[in-house]
Chains A and B, each alone.
Chain A
């Protein structure tokens, strides 16, 4: 219940946050909503010496569209994302997924940047970002860089982000025919298995697809076998066969009280099918 002691600095700008990060490395951590970090600190599973609060930075806020590309600032909360008319119209998968994260209080505080950077294996948004082929915007001492979501998530709680870098936002192409479906672990409300599917449709035929899973494995990752099977498939009828082997292709599968490896593999196929059907239904 009680975290260990730390220094606290509220950054006035991203530049200041970067400077503080460099100063405090490697014992410094960024804090925005704190809904990934603070629970770990209370269990003393994380004991940073310095917390740099970037939660209030205007630079990290906003949901914008430019030329068919949608950008979300890292400090936007799940509740703000869920309530965004822009997202509901242009990328409903993002708003809907955000609306299904945790509970109301968690959504009011938790941020998209925090969720992506922390990369809990059961977090919902990483799968959605991978399926949307989103770009993660990062800034660091050497300037800004961008990483595709599919490359960003690397392992359990491990992402392509230096200790001196900050996730500033995400951007992705508007996409209506995309959906996320998950099996919730009822206690924690994390995804036991969650699958996001983004389809490119021509009538009832799928031209191409990006499908990603979270919860099943160490980190969010693409289900390339499913994607390949979907190319040219007629939907929604072809969803079941395209997703049938979805779970079998995973190299590593999580296992705990709530779901064995077998079960998670099977649920990967089930929720791939459900996500594809829902996405196709939006066609």
Chain B
């Protein structure tokens, strides 16, 4: 077994240092080492997007990043999205518009939507559907997710 690699990752605004096996996936670092279990694993081929986090501000599938690659980087997970009390407009939108059922894809879906709204604050329905095409949901048929993201975009535009 290879020697542990020391890493420091800023996760949700906190510096987190650890020595990890090089092959440890970022998603497992978040879930197992930091107990941030809001980030989920839904596949093993980088298709489903359940593990999506923001890595240096851009959406990334944390199952396809080694924790050592994120050394020195900033990671934001669903737990840190609101950045304090209350809900982020996307979380609020998903709640208001029934954008989730079983909830398993939801954290990754919300983080993808955050990336989308960052790039395009007023996306059309088609742009939303395209923007979340890296995330699979088996429950909702996506319609309420689209509504939820529109809801959030409108609220963020007003803010």
Q: Which residues of A contact B (CB under 8 A)?
A: 1-8, 10, 31, 34-35, 38-39, 41-43, 51, 53, 55, 79, 102-106, 108-109, 187-188
Q: Which B residue's beta carbon lies closest to that of A35? A: B64
Q: Which of A39, A108, A187: most chain B CB closer than 10 A?
A: A108
Q: Which residues of B contact A (CB under 8 A)?
A: 1-3, 5, 21-23, 25, 41, 44-47, 49, 52, 55, 58-61, 63-66, 68-69, 71, 112, 115-116, 131, 133-135
A10→B60 CA distance, assembly (Å): 20
A34→B55 CA distance, assembly (Å): 14
Given contacts A1-B41, A79-B58, contact A105 B134 (CB under 8 A): yes
Interface pair B58/A43, CB less than 8 Å apart: no
* B22 CB contacts on chain A under 8 angstroms: 5-8, 51
Q: Which B residue's beta carbon lies closest to that of A51? A: B22
* B112 CB contacts on chain A under 8 angstroms: 104-105
Interface pair A104/B116, CB less than 8 Å apart: yes
| Sampled A-B contacts (22; CB under 8 Å) | A1-B44, A2-B23, A3-B23, A5-B21, A7-B22, A8-B5, A8-B22, A10-B71, A34-B66, A39-B46, A41-B23, A43-B44, A102-B134, A103-B133, A104-B116, A104-B134, A105-B59, A109-B58, A109-B60, A109-B61, A109-B65, A188-B47
Q: Which A residue's beta carbon lies closest to that of B5? A: A8
Interface pair B46/A35, CB less than 8 Å apart: yes
A156→B55 CA distance, assembly (Å): 32
